[in-house]
Amino acid sequence: MKFAVQSRRDDQSNELMELAKSYLTEFGLVLDEEAPDIVLSIGGDGTLLHAFHRYSNRLDKTAFVGIHTGHLGFYADWKPSELEKLVLSIAKKEFNVVEYPLLEVQVHRKHSESSTFLALNEVTIKSPDVTLVMDVELNGEHFERFRGDGLCISTPSGSTAYNKALGGAIIHPTLQAFQITEMASINNRVFRTVGASLVLPAHHNCALKPVNDQQFNMTVDHISMTETDVKSIMFNVANERVRFARFRPFPFWERVHDSFVANE
């Protein structure tokens, strides 16, 4: 079996990375940074996002597992003290692979080529200087004209991240769906939006169409870009899935409780 390691690059994460490489090669696994079967992410949830995009071209062949060197995360759920136990389980192939849905984003431009992205957590659309004005279409039908700071379109896995901070719903990561959540929408006697998160199933799609030729910022997880020539942005549940190596039960609602409800 081939493996790779993604580190947050702090001292503790780098030390664990070198230990993991040493242990795994001793068990006969092969370090392969180009085509790994399993990727160890050492750091936090953000580190795993980097690993995901690094290997997004081989999601059907690569599984991810995270070790947290900071706060317990939704992706990075192994402790540094458990490294030897994790390595032994990997060497013995004592794990199952679970798949979670992703968000596909297609950016259609007026005068240049279209681009397609995959998001593990979310995509955000924001205007840097003025109110963002976007027509929102659901399944090809006009739904609303959004005015406000921006929009967040998230996967179920990403529903506990920025989406939750905006007041969106927490969705179990196995559900085939995506969510649209507003950022400070303008609602008065003249301008109206739905004012609530929308959860769309896998057979639905959403299109955002800029009303004016305004510049806006778009993020795909941690990747940031500026757009000025967009005709439409299409969102749907991707055909691709992210694969996680599971070595033990993953009680999602318990993790939600521990992260947001329980006192330290």
**Can you give the pLDDT at residue 2?**
97
**Can you give the pLDDT at residue 71?**
81
Place of tokens 């009680």: 251
The model's pTM: 0.95
**Cα–Cα distance for residue pair 199/206, rounded to 1 Å:** 11
Q: List all residues 6 or more positions away from 6 whose beta carbon is below 8 Å from its beta carbon.
A: 39, 40, 41, 42, 43, 47, 48, 50, 51, 54
> Which domains can be identified in the chain, with CATH numbers?
2-95+247-260 (3.40.50.10330), 102-239 (2.60.200.30)
**Can you give the pLDDT at residue 101?**
98
b/e 221-247 (16+ beta carbons within 10 angstroms → b): beeeeebeebebbbbbbbeebbbbbeb
CA angle, 257 as apex, 10 and 184 as ends, to 5°? 80
**Can you give the pLDDT at residue 70?**
85
Residue 22: C-alpha distances to residues 11, 30, 68, 91 (Å): 17, 11, 19, 12
Instruction: Provide block-wise average pLDDT over 10 residues at a time, the chain (264 residues).
Output: 96 97 96 98 96 98 96 90 96 95 97 96 94 97 97 98 97 98 93 95 98 93 96 98 94 92 78
**Can you give the pLDDT at residue 25?**
97
Roughly what angle, to the nearest 10 degrees, separates helices 83-91 and 11-26? 30
Distance of alpha carbon 43 from the chain centroid: 16
Catalytic annotation present for 45: yes
**Cα–Cα distance for residue pair 215/241, rounded to 1 Å:** 31
**Can you give the pLDDT at residue 189?**
85
**Can you give the pLDDT at residue 264?**
61
Burial (Cβ within 10 Å: 0-12, 13-18, ≥19) of residue 120:
buried
Catalytic, out of 11, 37, 45, 213: 45
